[in-house]
Structure 1
Amino acid sequence: MPGEIHRDDSCLFCAIVAGTIPSTRVDEDERTVSFMDINPASDGHLLVVPRAHAVDLTDITPEDLGACALTAQRLAKRQLEVLGADGVNLLNCTGEAAWQSVFHFHLHVVPRYVDDPERDRLTLPWTPTAGDPDRIGAAGRRLQDGAGR
């Protein structure tokens, strides 16, 4: 990324990207840095962040979002091959109500291990149940129209 990268001096992940806070880096390129999550949901759980500060999914540039997604894909394949994971969850939390705790865009790349609670502590946060078709349709129409609340 040419030129100076925007950072937020109060941001934990900006400090990790800058190297002023230690981390276990797994991968980095021109736009992204990937490091192990210190509160892992499973063995091999890592984070992919853009080098440039962006608060969340609504703030990140399309170029950095694309770079983060491609890095997450590459590392998910590595988790499957190197760690022997059975699957991978990709998770982004946007906003405090959605469990975002560090306000620098990041993707959680969480390898999954079938029937191995020692290596995999992630459980579903909700029980999928059928929704009301009228509510689903109404929300879909509002989103199609771009209408607000």
Structure 2
Amino acid sequence: MAASSHTDDNCIFCKIIKGDIPSFKLIETDAVYSFLDIGPIAPGHALVIPKYHAAKLHDLPDEHLGEILATLKKIAVAQGVENYNILQNNGRIAHQVVDHVHFHMIPKPSDSDEAGLVIGWPTKKADMDDLKKLAEDIKGKL
């Protein structure tokens, strides 16, 4: 895939891609740039970003998605970690800080539940009729 010229001159990640801001680069292809996070929550915490500037995942053209996932896998394999989280946020209320699609690859050290990404997963019992209606609504829009 050829590199895209779709960038934002005010975006910190676009500046990193252009080399205007230094980074600890791990992988660079025509479509993807990956580097170590300077505020890691675990050793090896890496970011994988498309070179195409889009604020949210649904704004990113589909042809930019495949190489992102392949890059995340390469980084996980290279780090040799058995446990890790892949995190991607969209919008402020979902904890997105930089308005450029980015994926976090966060190693989870095997010796501690308190290291790496620490989150809760507050599940609730779903009503089956409500789930059926919701599934039908979503499928009708796909």
TM-score normalised according to structure 2 size: 0.88
CA distance in 1, matches of 2:47, 2:4: 23
Between the aligned residues of both structures, percent identity stands at: 35
1:137 to 99, 112, 132: 132
Q: CA offset at residue 129 of structure 1?
A: 4.1
CA distance in 2, matches of 1:115, 1:139: 40
1:98 to 91, 94, 100: 94
| Aligned residues of 2:3 and 2:30 also touching (Cα < 8 A) | no
What CA deviation, in whole Å up to 9, does each residue of 1:95-117 have, x standing for no partner?
Answer: 11211111101111111112336
The amino acid of 2:109's aligned partner reads Y
CA distance in 1, matches of 2:35, 2:54: 17
Q: CA offset at residue 45 of structure 1?
A: 0.7
Q: CA RMSD in A?
A: 2.0
Q: CA offset at residue 53 of structure 1?
A: 0.8
Alignment of 1:57-136 (within 5 A): 57-79=57-79, 81=80, 85-116=81-112, 120-136=115-131
- The alpha-carbon distance between structure 1 residues 4 and 51, as it changes in their structure 2 partners (threshold 3 A), is closer
| Aligned residues of 2:56 and 2:99 also touching (Cα < 8 A) | yes
The amino acid of 1:142's aligned partner reads D
CA distance in 1, matches of 2:4, 2:51: 10
Q: How many residues align?
A: 142
Give the gaps of 5 or more residues in structure 1.
none
What CA deviation, in whole Å up to 9, does each residue of 1:68-123 have, x standing for no partner?
Answer: 111111111112x2xxx2312111111112111111011111111123368x2321
Give the gaps of 5 or more residues in structure 2.
none
TM-score normalised according to structure 1 size: 0.85
1:24 alignment counterpart: 24
Structure 1 segments of 4+ aligned residues over 3 angstroms from their partners: 1-4
